[in-house]
Structures are given as C-alpha cells and as structure tokens.
Amino acid sequence: MVWNNIQIGKFKVKYTSLEVPKKDYPYCDKDGNVLKKVSGKFERGHYINEESGEKHDKAFKLINEKASSGFVGRIKNIENPIEISRDEVEDLLIEKEYLAENQELYNELESKGKAYKFGGWFGNGYKAYRVYVYPSKLYKGFLIMACGRGQKSEVIRELIGQLEEDNKMKQKIKDFENELTNINKVKVEELIQI
C-alpha cells in the first residue's frame, strides 16, 4: 500500500490507488502437474516439471485443481442475469466499459432503478469478469456494460485492515518510547557512587 499526498484547495489529502486484485493461475501439464516456465534465449521457450525434469512445449493453467486451456470464444447468451440494485455497480473496480444499446432493456432497467449482473469473459484467456449492465445517467437511451474482476469494498477493507495494523504498530512504538521516558535516567554522579 502506497499513500501519496495531494493538496486540494486548503485540504491535505492522502490517496492510494484501488487496484484490481491479481489472481494468477500456475502453469501445469494436461494431468495437472505444476510446471515452471523457462524463457527462451538461444532455444525456444518451454515449460518444465521440476520434480520429474520432464520438458513440455505446451502448458495449461491449473484452475480448481484441474488443467484448463482457457475460456472458449466470446460470451453470447446470458440466460439468467441477476437483477440487482443499480447502486451495487458503484462497488465495481471497472477494467472494461462498453456502450450498449437496447431500448426495451434500457426502459425496463430505468423504470425499476435496477441493473443486471452476470459473469463473463472476452476473447481467449483466463480473466473472468463481473459484468454489470445498467442505464446510463449521462447518455439517455443507452446502456453501459461495465466489467471488472474486483470490488472496491474488498480492496478498501484490506486497506483499512493494513491501516489498523500500521496504527497498532505506531501505538506500540509510542508506548515503548513512553515506557523508556518513564524509566529513571542514570546520572553520571550516581554511576560514580556505585
């Protein structure tokens, strides 16, 4: 956690970025054995099983203890989106955002003050997103489709926990320093008398 300072008018503000939690999946072979990636310098890059020494040209990702080759294609049909309060969208750490258009869906969500939520992915790879579709307040008649892998509340909860730990440590140091100042300091004269 890195806090920076900025002065906004007469206010001194500390700020830190809200970053998407990174979830990395280890490389594995088709049987789920973990592999280490070896970058190519004079030879082609490859993957190696450090336990057996076995070399692999192709690797998968280990997801839920199973070898996976990634998501297939693009999302096309969402049969059961979850209807949620539009306010929940504010908690999403947005990584991708799209303008979407469907007047009937816009009218339905706008009249209810709701949004739709579902899981999705784009292209090939291992990034699954929370996807929210909601009526735009600024661009009347259009929907916004916002996608992200993290939520602000998760990151803020973690930051607050770190701040509390930092404050506990600062208090421990302060208590220790207070304890030291309460201990009688020895004068040179007292040492000579000993």
> Is 179 part of a structural domain of the chain?
no
pLDDT digits (tens, 9 = 90+) for 31-70: 888 898 888 777 778 888 888 888 888 888 888 888 887 7
> Is 178 part of a structural domain of the chain?
no
pLDDT digits (tens, 9 = 90+) for 126-151: 778 899 999 999 999 999 999 998 88
CA distance 134 to 149: 17
Reading the block at residue 23, the tokens are 């979830």
The predicted structure's pLDDT at residue 106: 96
The predicted structure's pLDDT at residue 72: 64
> Is 154 part of a structural domain of the chain?
no
Domain that holds residue 140: 82-148
The domain tally of the chain equals: 2
Which of 5, 39, 68 is the C-terminal boundary of a domain? 68
Residue 126 sits in the same domain as residue 97: yes
Residue 61 sits in the same domain as residue 97: no
> Is 173 part of a structural domain of the chain?
no
The predicted structure's pLDDT at residue 192: 59
Q: 152 with 112: CB under 8 angstroms?
A: no
CA distance 176 to 1: 25
The predicted structure's pLDDT at residue 102: 94
Query: Hey, which residues does 150 pair with through a beta bridge?
Result: 93
For the entire predicted model, the pTM comes to 0.66
Reading the block at residue 116, the tokens are 């739709």
> Is 39 part of a structural domain of the chain?
yes
What is the DSSP track for the chain?
A: ---EEEEETTEEEEE---PPPP----EE-TT--B-EEE--SSS--EEE-TTT--EES--EEEETTEEE----S-----SSPEEEEGGGGGGEE-SEEEEE--HHHHHHHHHHTEEEEEEE--SSSS--EEEEEEE-SSSTT-EEEEEESEEHHHHHHHHHHHHHHHHHHHHHHHHHHHHHHHSPPPPHHHHHH-
Residue 108 sits in the same domain as residue 135: yes
pLDDT digits (tens, 9 = 90+) for 84-128: 999 999 999 999 999 999 999 999 999 999 999 998 887 666 778
Residue 87 sits in the same domain as residue 62: no
Residue 61 sits in the same domain as residue 86: no
> Is 6 part of a structural domain of the chain?
no
